[in-house]
Amino acid sequence: MSTVVGFVSQKGGVGKSTLARALAREAAAGGLAVKIADLDHEQGTSTNWARRRMAAGLEPVVPVEPFRTAADAFKAAEHVDLMIVDGPARASAGTLEIAKGSALVVQPSSTSVDDLEPAVLVFHSLVRAGIPRAKLAVALVRVGTEAEEGFARSYMAEAGYDVLPGALLERPAYRQAQNDGQAVTEVRFKGLSERADALVQAIIDRAGL
């Protein structure tokens, strides 16, 4: 049985690809047959990241394949244990399609109201379309302080959505790691890799993997 985890948002640059890659890396390291479906097929950023990873000779190999539609990605999911759908930005219809086929839908957000508010709207529209709230979770990335994290958690609690335990701090090292084909869980600063690990583990647990 294969599991599909989808990463969605209406805004770009929130951290979908960052978390999709980290989940894929850790699941592959744990022995699962995994693939990232890069639905941002025009930009193909995760596809290009996988090329950088390959060129750097990093293990485990993280397979990434571009797909034009979520339906195409779901079809290919039967060949793996875990299909990770790395969604494009700004596509409401596409977001619903991804959510319908996913066991878990993760929406990354920073802690600012400018990011939290649109994230809530995306989840509201999914719930209105019949997606169960239990399938939806926010992952906090780009956190600056504990106070910011606390604020974001209460904001989302008020809106009625779960926030995964753990959070990524806003750190240049996470960008650098991905420039080099690494996942954020592979960053060489132990505190940062442990934080990324904890967030990825929360996704793994929540997806029932």
d(CA 129, CA 132): 9
d(CA 49, CA 35): 13
DSSP state of 43: T
User: Closest separation between CB of residue 166 and ligand ADP, Å?
Assistant: 12
Helix, strand, coil percentages for the chain (3-state, nearest 5)? 50, 20, 30
- Bond into 60 cis (ω within 30): yes
Shorter beta-carbon distance to Mg ion: residue 155 or 200:
200
What is the contact mask toward ligand ADP in residues 44 to 63, using x (rule: CB under 6 A)? Answer: -x------------------
- Bond into 66 cis (ω within 30): no
Q: Which does 168 bind (CB under 5 to 8 A by kind): ligand ADP, Mg ion, none?
A: ligand ADP
DSSP state of 50: H
User: Closest separation between CB of residue 194 and Mg ion, Å?
Assistant: 24
Shorter beta-carbon distance to ligand ADP: residue 171 or 206:
171
Shorter beta-carbon distance to Mg ion: residue 8 or 192:
8
Answer for which of 13, 30, 150, 160 binds ligand ADP (CB under 6 A) is: 13
Answer for which of 3, 10, 18, 193 binds ligand ADP (CB under 6 A) is: 18
Amino acid (one-letter) located at 153: R
Angle of the 146-159 helix axis to the 113-128 helix axis, nearest 10: 30
From 14-22, 112-120, 128-136, 157-165, span contacting ligand ADP (CB under 6 A): 14-22
Which H or E run includes 204? helix 190-206
Q: Count CB neighbours of 207 within 10 A.
A: 20
Shorter beta-carbon distance to ligand ADP: residue 87 or 101:
87
Answer for which of 4, 5, 8, 14 binds ligand ADP (CB under 6 A) is: 14
Segment 124 to 153, residues that bind ligand ADP, using CB under 6 A: 141-142
